[in-house]
Structure 1
Amino acid sequence: MNKSYRFAEEKDIPLVLKFIKELSVYEKMEDQVIATETTLKEWLFEKKIAEVIFPMENNIEVGFALFFHNYSTFVGRAGLYLEDIYIMPQYRNRGHGKSIFKILSKIAVERNCGRFEWSCLDWNEPSIQFYKSLGAVPMNGWTVYRLTEEKFKKIAEEQ
Protein backbone atom coordinates (compact mmCIF):
# COMPACT_ATOMS: atom_id res chain seq x y z
CA MET A 1 0.00 0.00 0.00
CA ASN A 2 1.46 3.32 -1.13
CA LYS A 3 0.32 6.16 1.18
CA SER A 4 0.88 9.85 0.52
CA TYR A 5 -0.99 13.13 0.61
CA ARG A 6 -1.49 16.22 -1.49
CA PHE A 7 -2.99 19.67 -1.13
CA ALA A 8 -6.28 20.32 -2.92
CA GLU A 9 -6.28 22.39 -6.08
CA GLU A 10 -9.15 24.33 -7.59
CA LYS A 11 -9.95 21.41 -9.92
CA ASP A 12 -10.67 19.32 -6.78
CA ILE A 13 -13.67 21.38 -5.66
CA PRO A 14 -16.23 18.68 -6.67
CA LEU A 15 -14.25 16.08 -4.70
CA VAL A 16 -14.04 18.33 -1.63
CA LEU A 17 -17.81 18.84 -1.74
CA LYS A 18 -18.36 15.09 -2.17
CA PHE A 19 -16.31 14.38 0.97
CA ILE A 20 -18.11 17.15 2.90
CA LYS A 21 -21.44 15.52 2.03
CA GLU A 22 -20.19 12.05 3.00
CA LEU A 23 -18.95 13.43 6.33
CA SER A 24 -22.32 15.07 6.95
CA VAL A 25 -24.06 11.71 6.52
CA TYR A 26 -21.66 10.10 9.03
CA GLU A 27 -22.32 12.94 11.49
CA LYS A 28 -26.09 12.76 10.90
CA MET A 29 -26.11 16.39 9.73
CA GLU A 30 -26.71 16.10 5.99
CA ASP A 31 -29.56 18.63 6.17
CA GLN A 32 -27.04 21.27 7.32
CA VAL A 33 -24.76 21.24 4.26
CA ILE A 34 -25.34 24.39 2.25
CA ALA A 35 -21.82 24.60 0.79
CA THR A 36 -21.65 24.62 -2.99
CA GLU A 37 -18.84 24.37 -5.51
CA THR A 38 -19.17 28.15 -5.94
CA THR A 39 -18.77 28.92 -2.23
CA LEU A 40 -15.88 26.47 -1.90
CA LYS A 41 -14.11 28.10 -4.85
CA GLU A 42 -14.58 31.54 -3.32
CA TRP A 43 -13.47 30.72 0.22
CA LEU A 44 -10.81 28.08 -0.42
CA PHE A 45 -9.16 29.30 -3.61
CA GLU A 46 -10.01 32.99 -4.05
CA LYS A 47 -10.01 34.21 -0.44
CA LYS A 48 -7.70 31.39 0.68
CA ILE A 49 -9.34 31.28 4.11
CA ALA A 50 -8.77 27.53 4.56
CA GLU A 51 -6.74 24.69 3.09
CA VAL A 52 -7.54 21.08 2.23
CA ILE A 53 -5.29 18.05 2.13
CA PHE A 54 -6.18 14.65 0.76
CA PRO A 55 -4.74 11.45 2.22
CA MET A 56 -3.90 9.18 -0.70
CA GLU A 57 -3.68 5.43 -1.08
CA ASN A 58 -2.22 4.13 -4.33
CA ASN A 59 -2.82 7.58 -5.89
CA ILE A 60 -6.52 7.62 -4.88
CA GLU A 61 -7.94 10.33 -2.61
CA VAL A 62 -9.43 8.44 0.35
CA GLY A 63 -10.65 11.37 2.43
CA PHE A 64 -9.90 14.95 3.29
CA ALA A 65 -8.92 17.32 6.05
CA LEU A 66 -9.89 20.99 5.99
CA PHE A 67 -7.94 23.34 8.25
CA PHE A 68 -7.20 27.03 8.80
CA HIS A 69 -5.36 29.32 11.15
CA ASN A 70 -6.88 30.85 14.24
CA TYR A 71 -5.14 33.10 16.74
CA SER A 72 -4.58 32.84 20.47
CA THR A 73 -4.22 36.10 22.35
CA PHE A 74 -2.83 34.21 25.35
CA VAL A 75 -0.20 32.36 23.34
CA GLY A 76 0.39 35.36 21.08
CA ARG A 77 0.64 33.21 17.97
CA ALA A 78 -1.50 31.59 15.34
CA GLY A 79 -2.80 28.10 15.85
CA LEU A 80 -3.94 25.42 13.47
CA TYR A 81 -7.64 24.56 13.60
CA LEU A 82 -8.85 21.33 12.01
CA GLU A 83 -12.42 21.96 10.93
CA ASP A 84 -13.09 18.55 9.38
CA ILE A 85 -11.37 15.23 8.89
CA TYR A 86 -12.97 12.38 6.99
CA ILE A 87 -11.71 9.02 5.76
CA MET A 88 -13.94 6.91 3.51
CA PRO A 89 -15.19 3.85 5.46
CA GLN A 90 -13.40 1.29 3.30
CA TYR A 91 -10.06 3.03 3.99
CA ARG A 92 -10.39 3.42 7.76
CA ASN A 93 -8.06 1.64 10.19
CA ARG A 94 -5.18 1.82 7.71
CA GLY A 95 -3.33 4.72 9.34
CA HIS A 96 -4.71 7.55 7.20
CA GLY A 97 -6.08 9.47 10.19
CA LYS A 98 -2.77 9.28 12.00
CA SER A 99 -1.01 10.33 8.79
CA ILE A 100 -3.22 13.42 8.53
CA PHE A 101 -2.43 14.37 12.12
CA LYS A 102 1.29 13.87 11.44
CA ILE A 103 1.11 16.06 8.32
CA LEU A 104 -0.88 18.77 10.10
CA SER A 105 1.46 18.63 13.10
CA LYS A 106 4.43 19.16 10.77
CA ILE A 107 2.62 22.11 9.16
CA ALA A 108 1.93 23.56 12.63
CA VAL A 109 5.63 23.23 13.50
CA GLU A 110 6.78 24.73 10.17
CA ARG A 111 4.39 27.67 10.59
CA ASN A 112 5.39 28.18 14.26
CA CYS A 113 1.85 27.62 15.54
CA GLY A 114 1.22 27.64 19.27
CA ARG A 115 -1.75 25.24 19.24
CA PHE A 116 -3.45 22.58 17.16
CA GLU A 117 -7.14 22.24 17.96
CA TRP A 118 -10.39 20.75 16.69
CA SER A 119 -13.87 19.86 17.91
CA CYS A 120 -15.49 16.45 18.13
CA LEU A 121 -19.11 15.44 18.54
CA ASP A 122 -19.74 14.03 22.04
CA TRP A 123 -21.20 10.78 20.68
CA ASN A 124 -18.30 10.03 18.32
CA GLU A 125 -16.51 7.57 20.62
CA PRO A 126 -14.24 6.01 17.94
CA SER A 127 -12.83 9.45 17.11
CA ILE A 128 -12.54 10.44 20.78
CA GLN A 129 -10.52 7.32 21.52
CA PHE A 130 -8.33 7.96 18.47
CA TYR A 131 -7.68 11.58 19.54
CA LYS A 132 -6.82 10.49 23.07
CA SER A 133 -4.39 7.90 21.65
CA LEU A 134 -2.54 10.82 20.04
CA GLY A 135 -2.28 12.55 23.42
CA ALA A 136 -5.05 15.07 22.79
CA VAL A 137 -7.12 16.21 25.76
CA PRO A 138 -10.67 17.59 25.81
CA MET A 139 -11.03 21.22 26.83
CA ASN A 140 -13.14 20.73 29.94
CA GLY A 141 -14.89 23.85 31.11
CA TRP A 142 -15.27 25.24 27.58
CA THR A 143 -18.44 25.14 25.53
CA VAL A 144 -18.59 26.11 21.87
CA TYR A 145 -21.19 28.77 21.11
CA ARG A 146 -22.43 29.59 17.66
CA LEU A 147 -24.39 32.34 15.95
CA THR A 148 -25.89 31.21 12.67
CA GLU A 149 -25.89 33.56 9.71
CA GLU A 150 -29.53 34.43 10.34
CA LYS A 151 -28.77 35.36 13.97
CA PHE A 152 -25.65 37.44 13.36
CA LYS A 153 -27.36 39.30 10.52
CA LYS A 154 -30.15 40.18 12.92
CA ILE A 155 -27.65 41.46 15.47
CA ALA A 156 -25.80 43.46 12.82
CA GLU A 157 -29.05 45.16 11.79
CA GLU A 158 -29.98 46.18 15.34
CA GLN A 159 -29.52 49.82 16.28
Structure 2
Amino acid sequence: MAIAIRRAVKEDCPRLLELVQELALYEKAPQEVTVTLDHFIESGFGANPVWWAFVAEEDGLVQGFALYYVRYSTWKGQRMYLEDILVTEQARGKGLGKLLFDQLIAEAKERKFSGIVWQVLEWNEPAINFYKKYKADFDPEWINCSITIS
Protein backbone atom coordinates (compact mmCIF):
# COMPACT_ATOMS: atom_id res chain seq x y z
CA MET A 1 0.00 0.00 0.00
CA ALA A 2 1.68 3.19 -1.23
CA ILE A 3 0.20 6.40 0.22
CA ALA A 4 1.06 9.85 -1.09
CA ILE A 5 -0.17 13.32 -0.09
CA ARG A 6 0.18 15.93 -2.82
CA ARG A 7 -1.33 19.17 -4.06
CA ALA A 8 -4.42 18.71 -6.17
CA VAL A 9 -4.03 19.35 -9.88
CA LYS A 10 -6.66 20.28 -12.46
CA GLU A 11 -6.90 16.67 -13.65
CA ASP A 12 -8.04 15.63 -10.15
CA CYS A 13 -11.24 17.71 -10.37
CA PRO A 14 -13.60 14.99 -11.70
CA ARG A 15 -12.48 12.65 -8.90
CA LEU A 16 -12.72 15.44 -6.32
CA LEU A 17 -16.33 16.08 -7.32
CA GLU A 18 -17.06 12.35 -6.95
CA LEU A 19 -15.70 12.60 -3.41
CA VAL A 20 -17.71 15.77 -2.75
CA GLN A 21 -20.82 13.81 -3.76
CA GLU A 22 -19.79 10.97 -1.41
CA LEU A 23 -19.45 13.51 1.41
CA ALA A 24 -22.86 14.99 0.60
CA LEU A 25 -24.43 11.51 0.76
CA TYR A 26 -22.76 10.91 4.13
CA GLU A 27 -24.08 14.26 5.36
CA LYS A 28 -27.58 13.34 4.12
CA ALA A 29 -27.69 16.21 1.61
CA PRO A 30 -26.81 14.87 -1.87
CA GLN A 31 -29.23 17.30 -3.55
CA GLU A 32 -27.22 20.25 -2.21
CA VAL A 33 -24.27 19.64 -4.55
CA THR A 34 -25.07 21.90 -7.51
CA VAL A 35 -21.61 23.05 -8.62
CA THR A 36 -20.65 22.12 -12.17
CA LEU A 37 -17.33 20.56 -13.09
CA ASP A 38 -16.47 23.60 -15.23
CA HIS A 39 -17.16 26.02 -12.37
CA PHE A 40 -15.23 23.82 -9.94
CA ILE A 41 -12.20 23.71 -12.25
CA GLU A 42 -12.30 27.46 -12.96
CA SER A 43 -12.59 28.23 -9.23
CA GLY A 44 -9.53 26.16 -8.37
CA PHE A 45 -7.35 26.43 -11.45
CA GLY A 46 -8.52 29.48 -13.40
CA ALA A 47 -6.93 32.91 -13.56
CA ASN A 48 -7.94 33.76 -9.97
CA PRO A 49 -8.15 30.56 -7.89
CA VAL A 50 -10.28 30.79 -4.77
CA TRP A 51 -9.59 27.31 -3.39
CA TRP A 52 -6.63 24.98 -2.95
CA ALA A 53 -6.55 21.32 -2.07
CA PHE A 54 -4.42 18.36 -1.14
CA VAL A 55 -5.24 14.82 -2.15
CA ALA A 56 -4.43 11.51 -0.52
CA GLU A 57 -3.56 8.79 -3.01
CA GLU A 58 -3.41 5.12 -2.20
CA ASP A 59 -1.76 3.04 -4.90
CA GLY A 60 -2.33 5.87 -7.40
CA LEU A 61 -6.06 6.36 -6.69
CA VAL A 62 -7.28 9.52 -4.96
CA GLN A 63 -8.98 8.23 -1.80
CA GLY A 64 -9.27 11.50 0.08
CA PHE A 65 -8.91 15.24 -0.12
CA ALA A 66 -8.81 18.42 1.94
CA LEU A 67 -9.97 21.64 0.28
CA TYR A 68 -9.46 25.07 1.79
CA TYR A 69 -9.63 28.77 1.03
CA VAL A 70 -8.35 31.92 2.72
CA ARG A 71 -10.67 33.60 5.19
CA TYR A 72 -9.99 36.98 6.71
CA SER A 73 -10.81 37.72 10.33
CA THR A 74 -10.76 41.32 11.50
CA TRP A 75 -9.73 39.92 14.88
CA LYS A 76 -7.17 37.31 13.81
CA GLY A 77 -6.04 38.16 10.26
CA GLN A 78 -5.69 35.59 7.51
CA ARG A 79 -6.88 32.12 8.43
CA MET A 80 -7.28 28.90 6.54
CA TYR A 81 -10.90 27.84 6.16
CA LEU A 82 -11.16 24.08 5.73
CA GLU A 83 -14.20 23.65 3.51
CA ASP A 84 -14.09 19.86 3.25
CA ILE A 85 -11.95 16.96 4.31
CA LEU A 86 -12.94 13.45 3.32
CA VAL A 87 -11.42 10.00 3.14
CA THR A 88 -13.47 7.43 1.25
CA GLU A 89 -15.24 4.87 3.38
CA GLN A 90 -13.10 1.99 2.11
CA ALA A 91 -9.85 3.88 2.85
CA ARG A 92 -10.68 5.00 6.39
CA GLY A 93 -8.59 3.80 9.30
CA LYS A 94 -5.32 3.88 7.35
CA GLY A 95 -4.15 7.30 8.54
CA LEU A 96 -5.00 9.25 5.37
CA GLY A 97 -7.10 11.79 7.30
CA LYS A 98 -4.24 12.45 9.72
CA LEU A 99 -1.79 12.86 6.84
CA LEU A 100 -4.13 15.33 5.12
CA PHE A 101 -4.77 17.31 8.31
CA ASP A 102 -1.07 17.42 9.15
CA GLN A 103 -0.40 18.73 5.62
CA LEU A 104 -3.01 21.46 6.17
CA ILE A 105 -1.28 22.49 9.39
CA ALA A 106 2.07 22.63 7.59
CA GLU A 107 0.51 24.71 4.79
CA ALA A 108 -1.08 27.11 7.29
CA LYS A 109 2.29 27.59 8.99
CA GLU A 110 4.08 28.08 5.67
CA ARG A 111 1.54 30.67 4.52
CA LYS A 112 1.70 32.35 7.96
CA PHE A 113 -2.03 31.98 8.62
CA SER A 114 -3.09 32.66 12.21
CA GLY A 115 -5.09 29.44 12.41
CA ILE A 116 -7.44 26.98 10.76
CA VAL A 117 -11.23 27.09 11.11
CA TRP A 118 -13.93 24.72 9.91
CA GLN A 119 -17.38 23.37 10.71
CA VAL A 120 -18.49 19.90 11.71
CA LEU A 121 -22.01 18.56 11.97
CA GLU A 122 -23.01 18.02 15.59
CA TRP A 123 -23.98 14.38 14.93
CA ASN A 124 -20.72 13.48 13.16
CA GLU A 125 -19.05 11.78 16.11
CA PRO A 126 -16.20 10.18 14.13
CA ALA A 127 -15.15 13.60 12.80
CA ILE A 128 -15.57 15.27 16.19
CA ASN A 129 -13.40 12.61 17.81
CA PHE A 130 -10.79 13.06 15.07
CA TYR A 131 -10.66 16.83 15.69
CA LYS A 132 -10.44 16.32 19.45
CA LYS A 133 -7.11 14.55 18.87
CA TYR A 134 -5.84 17.91 17.59
CA LYS A 135 -7.21 19.70 20.67
CA ALA A 136 -9.67 21.65 18.51
CA ASP A 137 -11.88 24.25 20.16
CA PHE A 138 -15.62 23.70 19.65
CA ASP A 139 -17.72 26.86 19.80
CA PRO A 140 -21.40 26.34 20.69
CA GLU A 141 -22.24 30.06 20.68
CA TRP A 142 -22.31 30.82 16.96
CA ILE A 143 -25.21 30.09 14.61
CA ASN A 144 -24.50 29.39 10.94
CA CYS A 145 -26.23 31.70 8.51
CA SER A 146 -26.39 31.80 4.73
CA ILE A 147 -28.40 33.17 1.85
CA THR A 148 -28.64 31.82 -1.66
CA ILE A 149 -28.19 34.27 -4.50
CA SER A 150 -29.98 33.18 -7.66
Normalised by the length of structure 2, the TM-score is 0.94
Q: Quick one: distance in 2 between partners of 1:21 and 1:148? A: 20
Find the residue that maps to 1:62 and give its secondary structure: strand
Unmatched runs of 5 consecutive residues or more in structure 2:
none
Structure 1 runs (4+) deviating above 2 angstroms are none
Find the residue that maps to 1:86 and give its secondary structure: strand
Structure 1 position 55 matched with structure 2 position 56:
yes
The aligned residue for residue 93 of structure 1 is 93
**Paired AA for residue 60 in structure 1:** L
Higher RCO, Cα 8 Å, sep 6+: 2
Structure 1 position 71 matched with structure 2 position 72:
yes
Q: Quick one: distance in 2 between partners of 1:148 and 1:123? A: 24
Q: Quick one: distance in 2 between partners of 1:70 and 1:14? A: 25
Shift of 1:59: 2.5
User: What is the alpha-carbon root mean square deviation over aligned residues?
Assistant: 1.2
**Paired AA for residue 61 in structure 2:** I
Identity %: 34
The aligned residue for residue 124 of structure 1 is 124
Shift of 1:96: 0.8
Of Structure 1 and Structure 2, the greater helix share is in: 1
Q: Quick one: distance in 2 between partners of 1:61 and 1:41? A: 17
Equivalent residues, number: 149
- Superimposed CA distance per residue, residues 14-37 of structure 1 (whole angstroms, 9 cap, x where no aligned partner): 111111111111111101110111
Find the residue that maps to 1:143 and give its secondary structure: coil
